[in-house]
Structure 1
Amino acid sequence: MTEPQLLPVTTHAEFDARFRDCLARAHVTLQLFDPDFAVFPLGDSGVDAALRAFLHGSGTLQLAAHSTAHIERHYPRFLRLLRDYSHRVECRVTNSVLHQLTDSFCIADGIHVLRRFHSDHIRGQAAFDAPGAAEIPKQRFAAIWAESYVALQPTATGL
């Protein structure tokens, strides 16, 4: 295993770059939580290509949010990806009890994590090859996932 890398995130450009780094390192699982995913570049063509390659290579994506409205309005590429890989992607919405949660994170393969400490601010940290740094976000994601319900399901007419 390589040495853990801890990198601060203080700007939108750094967040975008670290998110793409996290995607590039994922091989088996991607778990994402954010209140609305407005900061995540899920509609970007490069991110779409990276997610498609990840899912085509037998990866699975789990996405949890308080609301999917931003995704539905602004990320048509992601909605197409969901339709094309519905067997490998699951999107859930948290129940109202969890709406006080304001952090945000992306976990790749349980050892790489990108965290924003509060969803109202971009400040955060990326930790690559760092299973210890990913442990608490993994536990938080499991709890969030258990208390959420399925959303963004593709239908015969699209979404």
Structure 2
Amino acid sequence: MPDKIMVGEHLYNEAMQLIIQSAEHELLIFDQDLKRGEFSSLATYELLQQLLSQQITSRVSIILQDSAHFQDKCPRLLNLLKTFGHKMSVHVTNQSAKHAKDCFILADGKHYIKRIHIDQARFKYAYDDVATVKALHTRFEELTEAIQDTVSITPLGL
């Protein structure tokens, strides 16, 4: 697949689903708030549920800059977090990481989709692009160092 920039919300949603569907073991997701893309859709829920159910070692890690949309508008994903809390995590960055305006999804260390700027539906995606995924994985690790909070589905202390 050529490495070119694609444009359009519909195409972005389709490519996002393809990358999520390609995951067999691990998904790493960085997004500002999950408002763009079809994160609240039944299709995304089913793909993530399948990933988390099929392998004992499968994992989904999400880093957000703001979790309000996730908590208020993504009940299916909250349900997955409740069911698969031992395999799924959702974190919120501190202020130092709020400047990042791109977002990306990494699947199994080899497939990716990267939205170039959150406010524009310009993106790249590829299968078997280990070099690009490695660079984005390094970025994801840097974002984990900026985690301020963890989204929990249970009240503190219970």
TM-score by length of 2: 0.91
2:60 aligns to what SS in structure 1? strand
Match of 1:148 in 2: 147
- Paired with 2:132 and 2:80, the residues of 1 have a C-alpha distance of 29
1:122 aligns to what SS in structure 2? strand
Q: 1:126 to 1:153 in 2, by over 3 A?
A: same
Match of 2:16 in 1: 19
Measured on the aligned residues, the alpha-carbon RMSD in Å equals: 1.6
Q: Is 1:33 aligned to 2:23, yes or no? A: no
- Paired with 1:52 and 1:119, the residues of 2 have a C-alpha distance of 26
- Paired with 1:150 and 1:127, the residues of 2 have a C-alpha distance of 31
- Paired with 2:26 and 2:100, the residues of 1 have a C-alpha distance of 22
Match of 1:116 in 2: 115
Q: In the TM superposition, what whole-angstrom CA distance separates every residue of 1:5-54 from its partner, at most 9, and x where no partner exists? A: 64543111111111111011101110000111111212111111110000
1:117 aligns to what SS in structure 2? strand
- Paired with 1:71 and 1:61, the residues of 2 have a C-alpha distance of 15
Same amino acid, percent of matched pairs: 22
Q: How far has the Cα of 1:152 moved from its partner?
A: 1.7
- Paired with 1:152 and 1:116, the residues of 2 have a C-alpha distance of 23
Is the Cα–Cα contact under 8 Å of residues 9 and 37 in structure 2 kept in the other structure? no
2:136 aligns to what SS in structure 1? helix
Q: How far has the Cα of 1:138 moved from its partner?
A: 0.7
Q: Is 1:130 aligned to 2:129, yes or no? A: yes
Is the Cα–Cα contact under 8 Å of residues 127 and 133 in structure 1 kept in the other structure? no
Is the Cα–Cα contact under 8 Å of residues 5 and 129 in structure 1 kept in the other structure? no
Q: Which 5+ residue runs of structure 1 have no aligned equivalent? A: none
Is the Cα–Cα contact under 8 Å of residues 92 and 149 in structure 1 kept in the other structure? yes
Moved over 3 A (4+): 4-8
Q: How far has the Cα of 1:154 moved from its partner?
A: 1.7
- Paired with 1:151 and 1:123, the residues of 2 have a C-alpha distance of 29
Q: Is 1:44 aligned to 2:41, yes or no? A: yes
Is the Cα–Cα contact under 8 Å of residues 36 and 65 in structure 1 kept in the other structure? yes
Is the Cα–Cα contact under 8 Å of residues 30 and 61 in structure 1 kept in the other structure? yes
Q: 1:60 to 1:5 in 2, by over 3 A?
A: farther
Q: 1:26 to 1:5 in 2, by over 3 A?
A: farther
Matched residue count: 154
- Paired with 1:56 and 1:43, the residues of 2 have a C-alpha distance of 19
